[in-house]
Amino acid sequence: MATPPPTPQPTPQPMPTSRLHHLDAARAALLLLGLPFHVATKAIFESEPAATDFQQSLLIGGWASITHVFRMFAFFMLAGYFAGMIRERKGTRAWLAERTRRLGLPFAASLLTLGALQFQLQDRLLHKPSPLFLGLPLALDHLWFLLVLLGFCAIYAAIPARAITPGERTSRAMLLQGPQSLALLALLGVWGLVRYAAEQVPPIPNASIETLLWQQFVFHAAGFALGVAAWHARIGAQIFALRSRWIIPGILLLAIPYLPLDPLLRPALGKEIYPDLAGTLMLRALELPLAYLMSLALFRLLAKAVRRPSRIVTFFVDGALAIYLFHLAWAMLVLPHVRALPLPPEMQWIIASSAVLLLAMASYLIMRQTRLTAALFCGAPLNPAPGKASSPSATAP
């Protein structure tokens, strides 16, 4: 009997020396996916009266459900990968100081301005009061990701880089090679159940936002850790353009039971918004494995489609932070007017999302006009070196 050919081994890749254009495109895509998602959730869950017609739309519910599965997982995975890259290039102290400035300053500036504005808009325009943050009339809303990312960076900086040495089995698992990949997906499923356990811990008294914040920290640690591991294993060039025949079948296998359990889609399917206990446990167990496979599919698709620099991608990557920071305030201002239009909910959602994108882009163009506002809302350096453009890949949040 012929001896079977050996299984291909993951080949460590050298440190990238050129800009990774498809990863820039991934950041831009993840940014754009978030805007219509937040328009929908603001209308459905944070408005009074709630937009039940949005909630019962298969198009809106399907979009919200499918994009929500992987969007933030992919974001934190990219953030972890670039954290490893830039830490190695600049050193831990310089990298952490840069992260603190490029994430901490925008967080503080946005919380004190946009957070205060959104707190008022939530009550006056959407008629559903926003919870306090740290006991103050400030809406944390979408700004939570900056705090969570800063926390991940602080923990990662405290771990000596030489102590992070993913072995061959870990690399093979991340690249979906052999039975190790099934073990990785199972571990991600277990981590989803850890999220469920975290949700059962009694909430912090009179601090619903702070309770959600630490739960988000626990849940998204998986994506960031995998990104860090991809860098230290030197498999970035492979994993972010992974060719595997198992990705699409795996997505279908997990999505078929997942989608009918997702509260974002269930009302459109004529079901109660939340599944029973067994359904909730299954939902949490499927969520992270599905997010990982869908993230790999997105990265692979963009690797095939984006092979050179693009002005459009560069614009959205450079403006990603500011556009994301401003879009939710615009959503609150736009939604009441758009919901009053005599149009089907799908058209209202598309019009509102398009208007929010254009207004958020305009906000970015205004903010980048001065060094101070660019530093506070765009994450740009206060004093950029003359003639030196920043690399979006290098400055990924």
- Residue 270 tokens read as 């004529």
What digits encode the pLDDT tens for the residues 116-173? 999 999 999 999 999 999 999 999 999 999 999 999 999 999 999 889 989 999 999 9
pLDDT confidence tier of residue 234, bands split at 50, 70 and 90: very high
pLDDT for 394: 37
pLDDT confidence tier of residue 3, bands split at 50, 70 and 90: very low
Instruction: Give yes or no for residue 275 having a pLDDT over 50.
Output: yes
Q: What is the mean pLDDT of residues 246-254?
A: 97
- Residue 396 tokens read as 């990924």
SS3 124: helix
pLDDT for 5: 46
Residues 148, 152: Cα–Cα separation, whole Å: 6
Q: What is the mean pLDDT of residues 290-317?
A: 90
Residues 196, 72: Cα–Cα separation, whole Å: 18
pLDDT confidence tier of residue 195, bands split at 50, 70 and 90: very high
Residues 170, 10: Cα–Cα separation, whole Å: 10
Residues 135, 82: Cα–Cα separation, whole Å: 34
Between 54 and 392, residue with greater pLDDT = 54
DSSP for 256-302 reads: HHHGGG-TTTGGGGTS-SS--HHHHHHHHHHHHHHHHHHHHHHHHHH
Q: Say if CB 59 and CB 67 are below 8 A apart.
A: no
Q: Say if CB 95 and CB 362 are below 8 A apart.
A: no
pLDDT for 379: 87
Instruction: Give yes or no for residue 106 having a pLDDT over 80.
Output: yes
Instruction: Give yes or no for residue 17 having a pLDDT over 80.
Output: no
Residues 150, 127: Cα–Cα separation, whole Å: 32
Q: What is the mean pLDDT of residues 289-294?
A: 98
Environment class of 48 (CB within 10 Å of its CB; exposed 0-12, middle 13-18, buried 19+): exposed
Instruction: Give yes or no for residue 18 having a pLDDT over 70.
Output: no
pLDDT confidence tier of residue 7, bands split at 50, 70 and 90: very low
pLDDT confidence tier of residue 276, bands split at 50, 70 and 90: very high
pLDDT for 376: 94
- Nearby residues of 328 by Cβ (< 8 Å), 6 or more positions away: 38, 42, 114, 118, 141, 142
Between 1 and 340, residue with greater pLDDT = 340
The chain-wide mean pLDDT, for the chain, equals 90
Q: What is the mean pLDDT of residues 244-259?
A: 96
pLDDT confidence tier of residue 383, bands split at 50, 70 and 90: low
pLDDT for 156: 97
Between 4 and 285, residue with greater pLDDT = 285
